[in-house]
Chains A and B, each alone.
Chain A
Amino acid sequence: MAVKLSLANYRTDLHNDWCPGCGDFGILSAIQMALADLQIEPHRVAVFSGIGCSGKTPHYINTYGIHTLHGRALPYAIGAKLANPELTVLIAGGDGDGLGIGVGHFVSAGRRNVDITYVLYDNGVYGLTKGQASPTLQRGLKPKSLPKPNINDAVNPIAIAICSGYTFVARGYAYDTKHLKELIKKGIQHKGSAFIDVLQPCPTYNDIATKEWFGGEDRIDPATKKPIPRVYKMEDEGYDGEVRDPSEAAEKIQAAIMKSFEWGDRIPIGVFYRNPHIPSYEERISSRIPEYLENYPAKQVIMDANNHPTARIEDILNEFRIL
Chain B
Amino acid sequence: MLTGNMSAAWGARVADVDYVAAYPITPQSEIVETLSKWTSTGELNAKFVNFESEHSMITAAGAASLTGARVFTATSSQGLFYAFEALYTVAGWRAPILLVNVARGVGMPMVLQVEHGDVLAARDSGFLQLHAETCQETLDFILIGYRLAEDRRILLPVMVNMDGFTLSFAREPVEIPDKSQVEDFLPRYSYPRPLTGDEQVAYAPTMTEGVPYTFFKYQMYAASIEAKHVFKQIVRDFSRVFGRGYDVLESFMMDDAEYAVVCSNSYSSIIRAGVKALRRRGVKVGMARLRMIRPFPREELAKALEGVEAVAVFEQNLAPGRGGALYPEIVEALYHMPEKPKAVVPFIGGLGGANIGPEEVAYMVRVCEKAVKTGIVPQHPTLLLREDDWSKLRESLKVSGLPVEKMGVVHHV
Task: Give residues in A with beta carbon < 8 Å to B.
Answer: 51, 67, 69-71, 96, 100-101, 103, 126, 128-130, 132-133, 135, 145, 147-148
A interface footprint on B27-62 (CB within 8 Å = 1, 0 otherwise): 001000100110111000000001011000000000
A21 to B25, CA, bound (A): 24
A67 to B37, CA, bound (A): 32
Chain B residues, CB < 8 A from A96: 52
Evaluate contact between A130 and B52: CB separation under 8 angstroms. no
Closest to B41 in A: A147
Chain B residues, CB < 8 A from A70: 53, 78, 82
A204 to B33, CA, bound (A): 16
A132 to B29, CA, bound (A): 10
Closest to A96 in B: B52
Residue B125 at the A interface, CB < 8 A? no
Residue B26 at the A interface, CB < 8 A? yes
Chain A residues, CB < 8 A from B52: 96, 100-101, 103, 135
A56 to B82, CA, bound (A): 21
Given A70-B82, A71-B53, A100-B52, does the pair A129, B37 have CB atoms closer than 8 Å? no
Closest to A55 in B: B110
Chain B residues, CB < 8 A from A128: 26
Chain A residues, CB < 8 A from B26: 128-129
Summarize A's interface: helix, strand, loop or mixed: loop
Chain A residues, CB < 8 A from B33: 130, 145
Q: How large is the interface on B (under 10, 10 to 19, 20 to 34, 35 or more residues)?
A: 10 to 19
Evaluate contact between B53 and A130: CB separation under 8 angstroms. no
Residue B245 at the A interface, CB < 8 A? no
Q: How far is the CB of B151 from chain A (nearest CB, A)?
A: 34
* 12 A–B pairs (Cβ distance < 8 Å), ordered by A: A69-B78, A69-B107, A70-B53, A71-B53, A100-B52, A126-B24, A129-B25, A132-B24, A133-B50, A147-B36, A147-B40, A148-B40
Chain B residues, CB < 8 A from A132: 24, 50
Chain B residues, CB < 8 A from A147: 36-37, 39-41
Chain B residues, CB < 8 A from A148: 40
Evaluate contact between A130 and B24: CB separation under 8 angstroms. yes
Chain B residues, CB < 8 A from A130: 24, 29, 33
A51 to B41, CA, bound (A): 31
Chain A residues, CB < 8 A from B25: 129
Q: How far is the CB of B210 from chain A (nearest CB, A)?
A: 31
Q: Considering the complex, which residues of chain B in the window 107-166 have a beta carbon less than 8 Å from any beta carbon of chain A?
A: 107, 110
Chain A residues, CB < 8 A from B50: 132-133
Q: How far is the CB of A119 from chain B (nearest CB, A)?
A: 21
Q: How far is the CB of B40 from chain A (nearest CB, A)?
A: 3
Evaluate contact between B29 and A129: CB separation under 8 angstroms. yes
A101 to B54, CA, bound (A): 9
Closest to B55 in A: A101
Closest to B37 in A: A147
Interface centre among B24, B39, B40, B41 (most CB of A within 10 A): B24
Chain A residues, CB < 8 A from B37: 147
Q: How far is the CB of B287 from chain A (nearest CB, A)?
A: 36
Q: How far is the CB of A155 from chain B (nearest CB, A)?
A: 10
Evaluate contact between A67 and B41: CB separation under 8 angstroms. no
Given A129-B24, A132-B24, does the pair A100, B41 have CB atoms closer than 8 Å? no
Chain B residues, CB < 8 A from A69: 78, 107
Evaluate contact between B29 and A101: CB separation under 8 angstroms. no
Q: How far is the CB of B214 from chain A (nearest CB, A)?
A: 33
Chain A residues, CB < 8 A from B53: 70-71, 100-101
